[in-house]
């Protein structure tokens, strides 16, 4: 999708919250540093753990869910010049979201065509994750359905294409392939044409799943779970080649009649793209969040801290801390500066009067923790904002005194 104007975007992200108060822990850094010399760790490459953070099945009738989507607004680019913000052009039919384009005459709206599009801008965006859309569309001369992503506003690296664009799927006219494309200041020329693009076959008679897996070093494009194309971050890359370290939002639209597909053949109208569902997953910021792997890595364990198969909250494993003061820590890198995160999890103590603290340090602010004193598993979390130049944080599960405590199901989410 060749875009000259960027749209507003903000983040709506569902997170767990904690009913317990958050305590500032004045001596936390000193106490934890005592343990660091005796901590052990092993290096392990961990598989991704995907968590569903956004979905829509479009199984209602009538208007779309306005808590998740908003209309794409008509502007002057080829893809948005005929957008029409009414339920005649974007609607749910009981099983699909339907995005339509036709040449109907609308009083007071003197354009030759009308088309539909929605986006998650101002509702939801994501940096890194797996984005999947199951859809089908009608071929036609002048048709241009698309599933794609744009960066939030204000854009970090300047106007289009410098702040990036991720085209998960585009189709034009009667072609037998779909297009999956990257735009940025390095690969996109003055005419809006990108050299980072791939054409993939698809089943024109049925729904297909179009998806990307986006991580800090690459964006992988898939059709029906088959890898088609990978765009990788270059060594020593600048934002010119890799602006893809900021949050993007999702756009679904049916366009046509301008730009890439050319003129419309009226006999082919109406055009439509039917979307069965959208599913977006976030890869956990934490490695091994539920302690279910055969190793503690990338957690770092203090003395008398071990993975056990008893006293679990969920799954088959938990962490146990015994004896005197001890801790479990993980330093998470690749965070965004000036960004709010929530670290949380579940813990319990063996005997009334004991305690354990879920907390964070080394993020650009004072160490803070939330205390757990229950003999039953209890949820606790801390909310923190990284400093202006901080891109990492150390999260911990810290037992300050004698006794035995258990922990499980930790998480770190961008708010």
CA-to-CA distance for 293 and 48, rounded, in angstroms?
Answer: 12
Taking alpha carbons only, the member of 216, 208, 233, 228 closest to residue 147 is 208
Name residues whose C-beta falls within 8 Å of residue 311's C-beta, 6 or more positions apart in sequence: 318, 320, 348, 406
CA distance to 155, 160, 341, per residue, from 381 (Å): 31, 38, 10
Of 170, 284, 329, 354, the active-site residue reads 170
CB 375 within 8 A of CB 351: yes
The residue whose two tokens read 């799954």 is: 315
Of 152, 165, 321, 354, the active-site residue reads 165
CA-to-CA distance for 244 and 247, rounded, in angstroms?
Answer: 8
CA-to-CA distance for 369 and 168, rounded, in angstroms?
Answer: 41
Copy the structure tokens of residue 54. 């956004």
On the CB side of 7, CA atoms within 13 Å amount to: 27
Residue 292 known to be catalytic? no
Residue 321 known to be catalytic? no
246 in helix, strand or coil? coil
Cα–Cα–Cα angle for 232, 127, 378, rounded to 5 degrees: 130
Count other Cβ atoms within 10 Å, centred on residue 243: 25
CA-to-CA distance for 279 and 211, rounded, in angstroms?
Answer: 9
Active site residues: 165, 170
């Amino acid at each position: 999708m060749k875009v000259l104007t960027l749209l507003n975007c903000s983040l709506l992200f569902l997170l767990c919250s904690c009913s317990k108060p958050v305590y500032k822990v004045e001596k936390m850094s000193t106490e934890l540093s005592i343990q660091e010399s005796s901590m052990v760790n092993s290096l392990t490459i961990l598989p991704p753990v995907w968590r569903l953070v956004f979905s829509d099945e479009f199984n209602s009738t009538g208007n779309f869910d306005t808590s998740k989507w908003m209309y794409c607004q008509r502007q002057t680019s080829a893809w948005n010049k005929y957008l029409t913000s009414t339920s005649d052009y974007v609607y749910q039919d009981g099983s699909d979201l339907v995005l339509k384009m036709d040449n109907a005459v609308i009083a007071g709206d003197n354009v030759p065509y009308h088309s539909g599009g929605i986006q998650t801008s101002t509702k939801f965006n994501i940096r890194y994750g797996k984005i999947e859309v199951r859809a089908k569309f009608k071929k036609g001369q002048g048709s241009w359905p698309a599933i794609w992503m744009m960066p939030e506003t204000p854009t970090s690296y300047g106007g289009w294409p410098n702040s990036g664009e991720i085209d998960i799927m585009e189709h034009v006219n009667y072609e037998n392939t779909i297009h999956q494309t990257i735009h940025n200041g390095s690969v996109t020329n003055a005419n809006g044409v990108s050299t980072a693009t791939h054409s993939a076959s698809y089943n024109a008679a049925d729904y297909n799943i179009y998806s990307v897996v986006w991580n800090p070093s690459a964006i992988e494009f898939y059709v029906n779970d088959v890898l088609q194309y990978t765009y990788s971050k270059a060594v020593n890359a600048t934002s010119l080649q890799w602006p893809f370290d900021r949050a993007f939002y999702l756009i679904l639209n049916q366009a046509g009649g301008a730009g890439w597909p050319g003129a419309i053949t009226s006999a082919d109208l109406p055009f439509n793209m039917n979307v069965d569902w959208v599913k977006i997953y976030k890869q956990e910021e934490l490695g091994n969040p539920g302690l279910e792997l055969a190793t503690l890595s990338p957690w770092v364990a203090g003395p008398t801290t071990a993975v056990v198969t008893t006293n679990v909250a969920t799954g088959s494993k938990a962490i146990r801390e015994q004896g005197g003061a001890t801790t479990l820590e993980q330093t998470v890198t690749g965070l965004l500066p000036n960004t709010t995160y929530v670290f949380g999890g579940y813990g319990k103590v063996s005997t009334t009067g004991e305690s354990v603290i879920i907390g964070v340090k080394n993020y650009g602010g004072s160490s803070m923790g939330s205390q757990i004193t229950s003999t039953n598993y209890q949820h606790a979390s801390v909310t923190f904002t990284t400093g202006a130049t901080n891109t990492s944080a150390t999260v911990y599960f810290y037992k300050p005194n004698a006794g035995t405590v258990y922990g499980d199901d930790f998480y770190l989410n961008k708010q």
